[in-house]
């Protein structure tokens, strides 16, 4: 065992930090509000800059423009991007549909889409959840019916992040309503400008427009946009989730919040005239949170390390996602306690402490324990896959 990265990996981390310091606006604290025009422009600029550095798809094979970067190198990238709250890390394209196309896609699909993803020139969104298909995703109902050289899609997707910015959607549709529910699903690629696609914003409880409802009314999609075999979409679609379930983003967000809170405690004076960081109860809680973050970080590293060994430990990925989201939430909860009356002054208010960020983040990251498999679903998976407990 060895609990340190190689010198080369550490060197990459420091190059990336330098790059981020140069590219992000002065005094950048993030997180970016991608619903704003400026926020989205920054996202696009950062993405192009990452592509120019060769980092956007460094985890891809060389034949597709990547560098065959290791899973561990990759997790350093994700960790630093999240820690710096840097926009531009294109999850849907570079981490989800890109790798899916490499494995399941046709040659035409690969040559049509992969270069654009690698260049940071296309935005994807993920059409999985439906109003009546959340945790029970396999019960999805959006229909696609073959009609000559096209599929005709009717139905609705919901909670679709970035649909309002997206050029393309990869979506799961029901292509055989008579088959058992996991076996009648297929994956299709849909141009968001196709007639009949309508995107309606949903504002989240943090007040921003991050996701949407997308409806499909007789949307005609070329049959060549089928990914993988007809009715094999469950397998194709699930292959993206192990990436989604690495908890490193949450760990890094939690670490950043912890660091900001620690600095706040060093700078602020309590009622006894001493810095908050000298208060034994605060020291104790901050130490506990640090332990929680570090434990979650090692699980995220374990996911990456196992992938590097050619293993795909579904139970560890679930542990990592669960631990990461909880650790992040714990830090934000405690931050709101420490900030007290000032913590609930919203961003932009005079007198708000830490720019009202903790409140906004706490509201926003309520989603962490829900999206990509709720905490409860992760526990089911750990019990079934890791411990082989019986399913009834």
Partner 1 sequence: MDLGFNETEEMVRASAQEFLEREAGPELARSGDADAFWSKVAEMGWPGLAVSERYGGADMGLVALGVLIEQWGANLGRGPLFEFSVLVSPLLEAAADERLKKEILPRLADGSSSAAIAILEQSASWRPEDIRATAVKTDNGWAITGTKHFVSYGDEASQILVAARTGDRPSDVSIFVVNREANGISSETVNHASGTPTTVLTFNETTVDVFRIVGSENEGWPFVEALMQKGAAFRAIQLAGLGRHVLDITAAYVKERKQFGVPIGSFQAVQHHLADMAVSVRRVEQLARQAVWSVAESSPDAAKQVSRAKLAASELIPQVCWTAHQCHGAIGFTQEHDLHLYTRHALSWAVEFGDTAAHTDRLADALEL
For the CB of residue 3, give the shortest distance to partner 1 in the complex, in Å. 4
| Binding string, residues 311-330; x marks residues near partner 1 by CB under 8 A | ----xx--x--xx-------
Residues comprising the chain, all counted: 392
For the CB of residue 301, give the shortest distance to partner 1 in the complex, in Å. 6
Q: Are 299 and 323 in contact (CB under 8 A)?
A: yes
Among 283, 312, 346, 349, binds partner 1 (CB under 8 A): 283
Using the minimum distance from each CB to partner 1, give the nearer residue, 70 or 142.
70
For the CB of residue 45, give the shortest distance to partner 1 in the complex, in Å. 32
Among 116, 199, 213, 305, binds partner 1 (CB under 8 A): 305
Using the minimum distance from each CB to partner 1, give the nearer residue, 6 or 337.
6
For the CB of residue 34, give the shortest distance to partner 1 in the complex, in Å. 32
Among 122, 296, 339, 361, binds partner 1 (CB under 8 A): 296
244 is catalytic: yes
Number of residues that bind partner 1 (CB under 8 A): 50
Beta bridge partners of 124: 168
How many CB atoms neighbour CB 379 within 10 A?
14
380 binds partner 1 (CB under 8 A): yes
Q: Are 72 and 247 in contact (CB under 8 A)?
A: no
Nearest to 354 by CA among 34, 23, 30, 37: 30
Taking the C-alpha atoms of residue 338 and residue 265, their distance in angstroms, rounded to an integer, is: 9
E strands present in 128-240: 143-147, 150-158, 168-174, 185-191, 197-202, 211-222, 226-227
7 binds partner 1 (CB under 8 A): no
345 backbone dihedrals φ, ψ, rounded to 5°: -80, 125
Catalytic residue among 4, 244, 288, 294: 244
Chain centre distance of CA 96: 10
Torsion of CA 276, 84, 79, 98, to 10 degrees: 150
Q: Are 110 and 236 in contact (CB under 8 A)?
A: no
277 binds partner 1 (CB under 8 A): yes
- Of residues 59 through 88, those in contact with partner 1 by CB under 8 A are 72
Q: Which residues form the catalytic set?
A: 244
Q: Which residues bind partner 1 (CB under 8 A)?
A: 1-6, 9, 72, 262, 265-266, 277, 280, 282-284, 286-288, 290-291, 294-296, 298-299, 301-302, 305-306, 309, 315-316, 319, 322-323, 376, 378-380, 382-384, 386-392
């Amino acid at each position: 065992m060895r609990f340190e990265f190689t010198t080369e990996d550490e060197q990459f981390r420091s190059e990336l930090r330098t790059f981020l310091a140069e590219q992000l606006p002065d005094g950048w604290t993030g997180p970016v509000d991608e619903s704003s025009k400026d926020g989205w422009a920054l996202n696009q600029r950062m993405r192009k800059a990452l592509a120019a550095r060769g980092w956007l798809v460094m985890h891809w094979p060389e034949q597709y423009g990547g560098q065959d970067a290791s899973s561990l190198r990759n997790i350093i990238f994700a960790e630093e991007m999240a820690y710096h709250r840097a926009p531009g890390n294109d999850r849907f394209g570079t981490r989800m549909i890109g790798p899916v196309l490499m494995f399941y896609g046709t040659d035409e699909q690969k040559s049509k889409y992969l270069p654009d993803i690698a260049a940071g020139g296309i935005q994807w969104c993920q059409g999985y959840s439906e109003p009546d298909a959340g945790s029970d995703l396999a019960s999805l109902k959006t229909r696609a019916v073959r009609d000559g050289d096209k599929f005709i899609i009717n139905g609705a997707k919901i909670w679709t992040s970035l649909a309002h910015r997206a050029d393309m959607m990869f979506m799961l549709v029901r292509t055989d309503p008579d088959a058992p529910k996991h076996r009648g699903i297929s994956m299709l690629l849909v141009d968001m400008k196709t007639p009949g696609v309508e995107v309606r914003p949903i504002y989240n409880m943090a007040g921003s427009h991050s996701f949407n409802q997308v409806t499909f009314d007789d949307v005609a999609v070329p049959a060549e946009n089928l990914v993988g075999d007809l009715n094999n979409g469950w397998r194709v679609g699930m292959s993206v989730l192990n990436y989604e379930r690495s908890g490193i983003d949450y760990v890094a967000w939690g670490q950043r919040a912890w660091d900001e809170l620690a600095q706040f405690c060093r700078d602020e004076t309590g009622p006894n005239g001493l810095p908050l960081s000298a208060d034994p109860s605060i020291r104790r809680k901050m130490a506990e949170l640090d332990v929680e973050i570090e434990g979650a970080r090692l699980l995220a590293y374990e996911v990456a390390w196992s992938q590097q060994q050619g293993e795909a430990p579904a139970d560890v990925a679930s542990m990592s996602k669960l631990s990461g989201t909880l650790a992040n939430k714990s830090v934000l909860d405690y931050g709101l306690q420490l900030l007290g009356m000032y913590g609930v002054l919203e961003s932009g208010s005079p007198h708000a402490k830490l720019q009202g960020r903790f409140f906004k983040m706490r509201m926003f990251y309520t989603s962490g324990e829900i999206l990509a498999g709720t905490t409860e679903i992760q526990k089911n998976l750990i019990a079934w896959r890791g411990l082989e407990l019986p399913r009834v």
